[in-house]
Structure 1
Amino acid sequence: MILDFFKKYFLVLIMVFLIGCKSDDDTPVIEEDTINGFWLAEDKGYVIEFTDDQDILYNVNTSGCSIADDNFKIEELAGLQLEVLNNNELIGRSELIASDIKFIRLENQNEFCLADQISETDDPKVNYDHFWNIFNDYYAFFETRNVDWSQYEDLGEQVTSENFYQIIGELVLLLNDGHVAIDDEENNISIDAGLPNLLERLNAGLTGDLIIDSDETYNVLYNQRLEIIGLKYLGGEYKLDESGNIAWGMINNNVGYINVLGMQGYSDDESTELQVLNIVLDEMMDDFKNSGVSKLIIDVRFNGGGYDMVSVEIASRFMDQERSAFSKKARLGDSFTETTSVSVSPKGDFQYTDEIILLTSPLTASAAEIFTLCLKDLSYVTIVGDNTNGVFSDILVHALPNGAFVGLSNEIYSDAQGVIYESIGVGPLEVNRVPLFANDDYLEEKDSGIDKAVEILSNRN
């Protein structure tokens, strides 16, 4: 399970960041022949060719062009909608994603994407050139991750078919970024650049046979922890939504508990994701209102992320007023795109704004970290646990000429004060630091994070 942790979201986000379109009663249908031609999303390195027949998605970088999908069906992907601004500009929008994707019409077919210039080959040197340039053109955190990428440009001279994945795997591991990955399903290759550091952090409180070195060991710790929470702390009485993403119940007569396990998948259809989510949230908040709960624990320690705006929707149920939450911008050449700022406003019939403990861990990643940004500055919220993973950027996915996919961090997120937590994560004060896994917790069948949260809440009026 731990080895598939980031791959799960990497593969999902391959779909999220390919542009999609749907229509409903409120959205005019775009006639395809009005947008036929080539459209460039410059900050993403995406070129879409719209035709009367099959549409094509290309990935472009300084080294050339690769086909990501030669039968591109926008209506099937990600819940994004296309809006025509004018003859030369398209905007891709989704209620699940915090920023728009801007497309500019190309007067002529991109010079890298002419039929005789498209790279579709297993040649390791060609693939290395694409790999290196994809990161060189779009990756946003070389300085943050303390990597001089330029010194590896000529390493392609050493690659062969036998050592290709070994070499590029070693390079991405230097970035130590949980949103950087290489996936070649055909050749059974899956490399997660953030996995070694994640394991090191998870093992910090473990010794002996409990050190995580396999899926089996991780599953033992993970399953035992969730079982203990459900049975010991919630007494076996809790609710779980149909998607299995949110569980809630009572620790005792005064303390409520919410475990948000994911920020996506509340609906089978992205177009109704937020609608279904809000039905769940309405039920949950009504339960807490009727219970008269005066203190609350929100647990995102096992939440690997999903959609930013799912996080914002959940956070809205704990807002006392509209507040600036975060900003984001994408790398664009040597500069950045315009900044998108996101605020969170109270939503629903009831908002809980009394004492809250927010539990976080190294597994708290991506959109779950966005949720943490939304709540961390509230005067009635205290963070307990460990620093989050430190991977805020949406994953930008590109195809290599050999058909493999690479994912990378292309965007910079900052909090309401402009502070960037990439690679660091958001964490508690030292006095409230509790590791996710520890030998004593396993042996004594307890959860020290919840125990610490209850202790803090018990000492407050």
Structure 2
Amino acid sequence: MLKKYKVIGLLISAPFMLMGCNSDKKSEVDNSFIGVWQKTAYGEVLDISKDTISRYAYNQHSCIKTHTLPRNNGLPPEISALSRTNSDMLIVTYQNELSSNQFSKTLSLPTSCKTPINTTDHISATQTFEYFWHTFNDYYAFFELREVDWQAQYDQFKPLITDTMDDEALFTIMSTMVEPLQDGHVFLSAEQFEFSGAKPSPLLDAIQGLARASLRTGQELDESDVISSLIASHQSITSTYITPASLRALPETKEMKTFIWGKTTDNIGILTINNMANFAAIENAHDAEQLTALQVQLDVIMQDLAETDALIVDIRINTGGSDKLALAIAGRFATQDILAFNKQAINKSGLGTPVQALVKQHSAPYNKPVYLLTSQITTSAAEIFTMAMRQFSHVTQVGEETSGEFSDVLSFTLPNGWEMGLSNEVYRNAQGENFERVGISPHINVSAFNTYEMDSHHFASYDYVLNHLGKQSYLPLEPHEFTAQVNEIMAEYHLPGLSAAIIHEGATVFSSGFGVQDLNNTAVSADTPFFLASVSKVLVGATLAQALDKKHISLDEKIAPLLPFPLYVPNNQANEISFRHLITHTSSIIDNPPIFNCTYYVLDSQVSLYNLMTEEDLCPPQVDADLPEFFRQYLSDEGTFNTPQNYSQQYDYSVGEVHIYSNIATNLAAYALAKKLDTPFTELSQRYVFTPLNMHNTYWGLDTPSSDVAKRLYLDPITMQPAVYPNYRSITYADGSVISTANDLTYFLKAAMNKGKVDGKQVFSRNMVNQMLSSQTETPTRSRDIGYFWQLDGDIIHHNGADPGVLTYLIGDTRTQNGIILLSNGDINVDMHEEAMEEIKTLALRLAYTYQP
């Protein structure tokens, strides 16, 4: 966390980590400070004598003498001031710190500090464990709130501690003990190991999901690379809302900006604040220097934004810093004096000194409407900022609840040299409310983060505010402009054919064809049938959701008993796989490319399509198209195709532990349902989905396609002219073999967006659609959530598809009832075809959101 550690943490780590010296020290020792002074509820004691200041970090069980500082006829350089408010209170101000620390007089050192641990001796695992447990026991404030029985943790894990155990084993036990707290201000740090206890959130899950999703290609990405990419995307998208002439950012020389600000074309201000810590240009600046730099920057920023009509303040990825710096920013919006918060350390060891934080009315505050955007990783000092801003009547919080981690981090050094931190303080707002764990809920709930935003280059929260203010979040686009620009893109990128349908506020407002569907230059229309590739999966999902709604299956029903062959999964996990695992790509069954690529074959000859197109002999020349036999060979212990590479266990992930997109698992879901109901899956889809929706031009393309179906085309790499793929299919048909039209798919998308209703008629039950579009796993995925194969990103439901000669998009917004359907016979193997579809998708979304009758 970026939030400033309390002084105790600075003292413990490498001595004091404080800079500078005090030129105003008294020239002789002030004997009135002599005595023992305790910072109650913080585990810190100062023993001041005429010659030294000794500091102890302690709990009821044990104590460590962390520093002995010479007074040298005055104060040590680490302390800028000592003062007395009365005979029983000592105020300690450490060098370059903005806050002071209050100590109360006590008669003697705590009992545990009379025989402190000698850290120069050998330190056993038992000593370290006891100090760790007792420190949390004495000072952690939220065991009850976070529903952790700390004594039970001791009883469970203490018997596992031995003085012969290695560091990794000890670290694992200790981090496991505090993990259930899900408190981002809890940490444990060793030379080779790190633990931070942040609770799950959509962004953190997506980082993990994106990193692991790449296992589909055989390599897990480093999460730090994913974070860097997401931050870069976040900053880039922010900039697209701001006019180039007004766009500014600080620091100018660093990739990660603290501030990004400017104005939209409609004169709405945008101010992104990414941390509450890094404002000074110099490295390792202390708090006073940071505050000075911040005030200078705020003068410029607020002047630039002064004449805007309203202001978006974005702290969605702000994980904190300094309370005082956060309140300095809040002060620029202070139309009146406010109480920002009360805080007090409250724990088993006692009650700390209560602290009040005030924000004074500013002489020239920004007093127009302010929309404060928060997320579930808006943390710590950023939450303090939110708490303060909520006291102003012109501020509206939009997005998601904040993280719920308010306390400053109380840090200790363990006897073996490891560092640990915990939360010991309770913060309350001016109304006396405590938001620890639950976070501060917004006035208006809007998705604050999803990976679809990175693809679409739009923020749902920005778009909500702009639309609320009557401003455009998308550049307006007329249908004739859309048509002209699509034709230009297709010509430039050699995209052969496209069928498009646009839905605005629940009504189809545009449907048309572009280009050609074959080499005879037959024009495409909105009724031209196209193969859907992986968009077929959401139709598979709808079929399964209907079966569940009709109580034919249970989502958690195990599939192994339904199969006509003995299912094999490593580590004896075959009996764990359920329909839920299959629809969320968490079954551990994955696509092994050397085998999966060989499932594609030419229909009339059963020759391997892969061999034909690559001119290599990597697959058997003739493909056995029998699906049950393929499953038997791929998924049974004795199968010819069965290898460890067919399963995520090769990466040490078991059933339900990792999301890896899987075509074969999709087919297994369809096959298991067909076996369960003793009905071909193609018939179930027709009965449950296509017929109720009047999708008369939608069917499974398992045989030679009729002549009206768009031919699947590719570009000849030599002539750059279009050529036709032979009629092909895959053994595993359910992952991508539906044929449909743009017009037919509007019925399906409308039903999905509108709780099962199409043109006022309830086609699917509300319960069925709610189930289909609800998150079905807690395992991190590359999208925010996953339903019945649907990718779910806040209000956005979507899936795309790609196959040889097929590129498709299906995107819907359940809040606005806007959506797009794009079907093309462009080729997955032609980069410029994919680029064309991306550009057309952007145009289609503009038309969907800005259509004017």
Q: TM-score surpassing 0.5?
A: yes
TM-score range, shorter chain: 0.7 to 0.9
Match of 1:191 in 2: 195
Does the 8 Å CA contact 1:301/1:363 hold for their aligned counterparts? Answer: yes
TM-fit CA distance, 1:232: 4.8
Does the 8 Å CA contact 1:230/1:237 hold for their aligned counterparts? Answer: no
CA distance in 2 between counterparts of 1:253 and 1:95 reads: 47
Residues 355 and 232 of structure 1: CA distance in aligned 2, closer, same or farther (over 3 Å): closer
CA distance in 1 between counterparts of 2:17 and 2:91 reads: 10
TM-fit CA distance, 1:87: 5.6
CA distance in 2 between counterparts of 1:146 and 1:354 reads: 42
| 2:40 is aligned with 1:15 | no
Does the 8 Å CA contact 1:255/1:295 hold for their aligned counterparts? Answer: yes
TM-fit CA distance, 1:382: 1.4
TM-fit CA distance, 1:259: 1.2
Structure 1 residues without counterparts, runs of 5 or longer: 1-5
Residue-by-residue CA offset, 1:191-242 (whole Å, 9 max, x unaligned)? 1011x52467653997794899722222222211112212453437423344
Residues 88 and 344 of structure 1: CA distance in aligned 2, closer, same or farther (over 3 Å): closer
Query: Which of 291, 294, 303 is residue 277 of structure 1 equivalent to?
Result: 294
TM-fit CA distance, 1:90: 1.1
3-state SS of paired residue (2:336): coil
Does the 8 Å CA contact 2:40/2:351 hold for their aligned counterparts? Answer: no
Structure 2 residues without counterparts, runs of 5 or longer: 215-219, 473-853
TM-fit CA distance, 1:41: 1.3
Residue-by-residue CA offset, 1:104-162 (whole Å, 9 max, x unaligned)? 34544443234665466431111111111101101100111001111123432321333
CA distance in 2 between counterparts of 1:425 and 1:37 reads: 41
Match of 2:45 in 1: 47
CA distance in 1 between counterparts of 2:378 and 2:305 reads: 24
Aligned residues: 445
CA distance in 1 between counterparts of 2:401 and 2:96 reads: 25
Letter matched to residue 463 of structure 2: D
CA distance in 2 between counterparts of 1:16 and 1:425 reads: 30
Letter matched to residue 420 of structure 1: N
Match of 1:174 in 2: 180
3-state SS of paired residue (2:469): helix
Letter matched to residue 321 of structure 1: Q
TM-fit CA distance, 1:245: 2.5
Which of the two has higher C-alpha Rg? 2
3-state SS of paired residue (1:353): coil
Match of 2:477 in 1: none
CA distance in 2 between counterparts of 1:153 and 1:370 reads: 33
| 2:405 is aligned with 1:407 | no
TM-fit CA distance, 1:366: 0.5
Does the 8 Å CA contact 1:326/1:414 hold for their aligned counterparts? Answer: yes
Does the 8 Å CA contact 2:203/2:377 hold for their aligned counterparts? Answer: no
Greater CA deviation, 41-50 or 100-109?
Answer: 100-109
Q: Taking CA–CA contacts closer than 8 Å with sequence separation of 6 or more, which of the two structures ends up with the larger relative contact order?
A: 1
Residues 102 and 321 of structure 1: CA distance in aligned 2, closer, same or farther (over 3 Å): same
Letter matched to residue 277 of structure 2: Q
Within 5 A, what are the aligned runs for 1:299-378?
299-333=314-348, 335-347=350-362, 349-378=363-392
| 2:312 is aligned with 1:297 | yes
Does the 8 Å CA contact 2:376/2:400 hold for their aligned counterparts? Answer: yes
Letter matched to residue 156 of structure 1: K
Does the 8 Å CA contact 2:375/2:403 hold for their aligned counterparts? Answer: yes
* Root mean square deviation, CA, Å: 3.6
Match of 1:444 in 2: 456
Letter matched to residue 218 of structure 1: I
Greater CA deviation, 60-69 or 293-302?
Answer: 60-69
CA distance in 2 between counterparts of 1:366 and 1:101 reads: 20
Query: Which of 238, 251, 259 is residue 264 of structure 2 equivalent to?
Result: 251
CA distance in 2 between counterparts of 1:203 and 1:398 reads: 32
Match of 1:3 in 2: none
Greater CA deviation, 237-246 or 16-25?
Answer: 16-25
Residue-by-residue CA offset, 1:50-89 (whole Å, 9 max, x unaligned)? 4677754321101110234456998666x87432335653
Greater CA deviation, 297-306 or 155-164?
Answer: 155-164
Does the 8 Å CA contact 2:189/2:418 hold for their aligned counterparts? Answer: yes
| 2:249 is aligned with 1:240 | yes
TM-fit CA distance, 1:93: 4.9
Residues 54 and 339 of structure 1: CA distance in aligned 2, closer, same or farther (over 3 Å): closer
CA distance in 2 between counterparts of 1:200 and 1:249 reads: 25
Match of 2:235 in 1: 226
CA distance in 1 between counterparts of 2:351 and 2:173 reads: 30
Percent of aligned positions that are identical: 27
Within 5 A, what are the aligned runs for 1:116-155?
117-118=117-118, 121-154=122-155, 155=157
Within 5 A, what are the aligned runs for 1:427-438?
427-429=441-443, 432-436=445-449, 438=450
CA distance in 2 between counterparts of 1:198 and 1:14 reads: 27
3-state SS of paired residue (1:136): helix
Does the 8 Å CA contact 2:258/2:274 hold for their aligned counterparts? Answer: yes
Residue-by-residue CA offset, 1:357-395 (whole Å, 9 max, x unaligned)? 101112211111000001124322111222111100011
Does the 8 Å CA contact 1:357/1:453 hold for their aligned counterparts? Answer: yes
CA distance in 2 between counterparts of 1:248 and 1:218 reads: 22
Does the 8 Å CA contact 1:7/1:181 hold for their aligned counterparts? Answer: no
Does the 8 Å CA contact 2:370/2:395 hold for their aligned counterparts? Answer: yes
Q: Normalising to structure 1: TM-score of the pair?
A: 0.84
Letter matched to residue 168 of structure 1: M
TM-fit CA distance, 1:405: 1.5
Query: Which of 434, 449, 468 is residue 456 of structure 1 equivalent to?
Result: 468
Does the 8 Å CA contact 1:298/1:357 hold for their aligned counterparts? Answer: yes
| 2:128 is aligned with 1:156 | no
CA distance in 2 between counterparts of 1:392 and 1:55 reads: 31
Residues 173 and 229 of structure 1: CA distance in aligned 2, closer, same or farther (over 3 Å): same
Within 5 A, what are the aligned runs for 1:412-427?
412-427=426-441
3-state SS of paired residue (2:441): coil
TM-fit CA distance, 1:458: 2.6
